[in-house]
Structure 1
C-alpha cells in the first residue's frame, strides 16, 4: 500500500508533455530563424537611409545614394523610389514604410511593419 501512495505523488514531465514542449520550442526557433534576416535588413535600410540623407541635397541625389547602398547591402524590401524625402530646417529627412510577411501555417502569417 505504501508503494501505491508513493507512486501517486511522483512529479515530472510525461512523454506527451515533453513532445508538446519540444514542438513549441521548434516552432519558436523556426519563426525566430526567419525573423533574424528581416531585422538585419531593417538595420541596413536605416543605415542606408541615414547615409543617403547625409550625402544628398536633392531628392534625386538621396534616392540614387540609397539605391547604391541598397545594391551593396542587398536590400530588396525598399528602393529609392519608396523613400519619402523631405526637408526640415534645411536638413534632409528620409522616411520609409514597408512590411514583410512570414508564412506560418495555412492562411496564417506573421507580419512585420516598419516605419521611419
Structure 2
C-alpha cells in the first residue's frame, strides 16, 4: 500500500510566513499609538477625579500629568473639551493618528474618548 504524503509545501510555507510577517509588522506599528491612547485615557480620568473645578485648572492638571507620563505627543490641553454634567467634570478628547506602513501607504486611526 502506498502512503500519501502529508505536509506543507515550500510555497505554502513562504506564503504563510509573508502573511504572518505582514500582520506582525502592522501590529508592531499600531502598538505605540494604542499605548498612547490608553495613557491619555488614564490621564484624563485622573484629572477628572482630581477635584479641579475650573477649565484652567483642568488644563493645567492635564499639562502637568502629561509632562510626567511618557509618550503623550498627539494631544495637548488645548485639544480637550471640558464640560460639567451634574456637578461633575467631563473631559472629552478626539484626535487622528497617522501611521506610515510603507512609504506611500498610511493607516489613519481616529481616537476619541471621555472621562469616566
TM-score by length of 1: 0.85
Q: Of 82, 107, 110, which residue of structure 2 is paired with 1:110? A: 107
Unaligned runs of 5+ in 2: none
Q: Paired residues, what number?
A: 111
SS at match of 1:12: coil
The answer as to 2:79 corresponding to 1:82 is yes
TM-score by length of 2: 0.85
Unaligned runs of 5+ in 1: none
Greater helix fraction, Structure 1 or Structure 2: 1
The answer as to 2:42 corresponding to 1:62 is no
Q: Which ranges of 4 or more aligned residues in structure 1 deviate by more than 3 Å?
A: none
Bigger RCO of structures 1 and 2 (CA < 8 A, at least 6 apart): 2
Within a 5 Å distance, the mapping from 1:1-116 to structure 2 comes to 9-55=4-50, 56-74=52-70, 75-116=72-113
Contact 2:94 2:111 in 1 (8 A): yes
Deviations 1:55-112 (A, max 9, x none): 2111111111111111111310111000000001111100000121222234322222
Larger radius of gyration: 1
Greater strand fraction, Structure 1 or Structure 2: 2
